[in-house]
A and B are shown apart, each in its own frame.
Chain A
Amino acid sequence: MSDLMLGNQAVARGLYEAGVGVVSSYPGTPSTEITEFASKYDPSELYCEWAPNEKVACEVAVGASISGARSFCAMKHVGLNVAADPLFTASYTGVNGGMVIAVADDPGMHSSQNEQDSRHYAIGAKVPMLEPSDSQECKDYTKLAYELSEKYDTPVILRLTTRVSHSQSFVTTEERQNVAVKDYTKDISKYVMTPANAIKKHIVVEDRTQRLTEYADNSGINTVEYNDTKIGVITSGICYQYSKEALGDKASYLKLGMVNPLPVQLIKDFAGKVDTLYVIEELDDVIETHCRKLGIKVIGKEAFTLQGEYFQSKIKQVILGEKDEWQTVDAEIPVRPPVLCAGCPHRGVFYILKKLGVMVSGDIGCYTLGSAAPLSAIDTTVCMGASVSGLHGFNKGRKGEYEGKSVAVIGDSTFIHSGVTGLINIAYNRSNSTVIILDNSITGMTGHQNNPANGLNIYGDPAAAVDLEALAHAVGINSVRVVDPNNLEETEKAIREELAKAEPSVIIARRPCALLKTVKHKPAFKIDPDKCKNCKSCMRIGCPALCLTEKCVTIDATLCVGCGLCSQMCKFDAIKE
């Protein structure tokens, strides 16, 4: 039977059909739905969990693999930075049960802070990497990845990109394979990577790459399609689809299903049969560089770009010189950037921080939107956890001058992910830094995943919940307090007082995400047009439910959830429940 499936859903189906036993992931767009869909299968067959971060997830998968089960973890590209440590050595130990890591790159940065190319990790860790180009291949390559993992004794990376992960196309489903958990046998030379053992394993790894290169040349995972041979295209993943749409049978194709290690003889043969050879790959020039090392003349980044997504029109324009035409509306169209939702509990904190004019060390989550106008409250955003450790560095760098004038803001899930280590550093190496944990009881931006701080596991069942107050105390922070961020007065008082203290402190701004189904909303607030002086004070909180008109401000009742923040801004008592 054939179904329309997201690429991510098809990967999850592949996990099920491949008889995988353990899945551990940390959410990250565009990879999140793989694990969400996997968690819909019977956990007694396919067990799933949200891990605190990608390093933990990858190590859980390594452990499950050593135990003999087929295992899996998924993450976004920057998540693999976090999980790189176990990956590089799991490459040496190899596997017992097959192990696959799915990594989803985000060319065009739809929902990411950088545009890194994960293929470098496969090269660096010397592990095979498969790259599907549609949902059917997502499923097929996932299953193939387990075969390769066990045959070649290596973790395998499945590389996705946003357009593959988040496009639906047809997938034919099959039954789940019965894969027994393999026997576990203690094997120190294989699993204990002391230098003496690792030196021997490195030899095995290099030999494995040679054997995998032969596989790349001969197995059929990389396919050749001859049409007109004046133009040849070497490509992989979504770029294959763009190329086919742009060029049809005006070109011949070498489609790479395996992007590490790359084939040698296959590329040489293909290059010999076409007149002009293009390499079409988004992000870095990985295939192009490989071709040049083989002494093959190709056109690559000099015609295309290292930045963003390609699409069919770019390929058509570069190779065929053809351009699409279009017409525009004769009007200035204002941009519509993403914003903090109406009723978002982060809004109150950012309003106060802007008012106080402090330096705000920011982090990764919905609350990164606190950097957008009119709040414009955030000074820095680098990576998960960097708000806390970065603030300490900032305060040390300014020799204490900014203590009392700077804070870190970090969400509950991000704090668990990698903020807590930074907090330990603040306490241990003592800076008078103030960390605000924006605890909305969910992992928000990726679409509402439970996390270790909210007391629910991936299945929605009750689970141990990290006590953030106790944790902050335990690492050596004495001044810890909880505020309701929808109470502006209380929030301002708490921030002012904690900043004034000559010691490190933690403020937990606690209120659940307004989009959670369990959160009961008040009716929409109303503005009394007779009392409203149109002073626009309420507009300073940047709520999308507020609307300027010539006479007075109005509230969009379809958006307003009655958080009451705007009424706290009004000096004329014009905004009421």
Chain B
Amino acid sequence: MEKYKIVMLGEKDHGKSTLLANLLIASKSVSHERINEVKNISKKNKTRFEPAYILDAFSEERDLGMTIDTTRANIAYKNKLIELIDVPGHLELIKNMMTGASSSEIAVLVVSAKKNEGFKLETKRHLFLASMFNLKTVIIAVNKMDELDYNEKIFNRLKKQINDFLNMLDIKIKPIFIPISAYDNENLTVKSQKIKWYNGKSLLETITGLKNNKKGNGKNKNKIRVLIQDTFDENNKSFSGIIYSGKLIKNSKIKILPKNIKAKIKSVSFLNRSSKSSNLKNVLISFFDKDLGVKRGDIIYDLNSDPSYLDKFRAKIFLINNIDLKNLKNIKIIFNNNEFGINKINILKAISPLSGKLMDLKKIIKPDYSINAEINLNCRYPIEKFNEFEEFGRFLIFNKNKFAGIGIVF
């Protein structure tokens, strides 16, 4: 069954959880028991039936009427499997939003068309992050149209605002716009009869009509890039790893970076013969030679292929907290669960993704900027460009052991 991984983005109170819950109810993906539980709580809280309570399961979320952390729910629709991830829309909870967005391929960005809500900062931030997380498709669900008499002009005005913003910042996303009412179920599963001027499909029909959302390394798929996860035996001859690209062939010679160790493959074994659709492909590899000095985090390459960078690299970074560049020893960079210190960061350019303004930053890197920087690791490590080998060209930044932001290599 084809699977679509979707994150629901958008500002708080613009209706993400309500939309998701109504999709679950409309596609019969949630039990009567769960719906009844929510009906009882709504009654007790003396509010109208609140579908969002299905996902906002913490009492605190329900009392405050906001999502605190991500929730995942699966729906099946016309023989397609859709995994929906709900994330909080509050700035303070942006790291939870990032956790949800990082495992998705498609975003549904919910924007309320109401006058006092509209296209605001958090929505801009989410659009920018959607481009950093390389989400292939962004669907903009223009919500609360029921409260605006399904007015076409209001819809078009919002559409223009968002497209102008994307052009100004040169964000390469071409969104699909759909007018909806999450609360009244208009345009969610079937095309709305109340929105005659809209010629497109309903939200679920649009999603299941999408093709090629799987991420992949395209033209580089024949090159070998295998991450060593762990040593597997006491003799230090076999290792567990993840094949992100290429094929490992018995008796062939490969090299292992960063130490440039040459080795001959004795055997390769997989968990499953056919897990083509899986983006994690576990493998056990053993070599003829023992005590090669191969470590967790090392990467297997073909003999005639090299990484883009080996210590100094260029990246676009986005932070959620300030970082003081005078204290580099507090900063750690994580590539595929392996931690590195840094010797130097040079800021090349800092631009606000919210206003488009350039900023002169030197000693402190501030949050909320799209920052191009040159980074020197404190040791040699193979690093790839994000648009060539995504898994080896993205990293997390920690400051004093706290999550500070993400980066992608260019």
Q: Do A and B come from one complex?
A: no
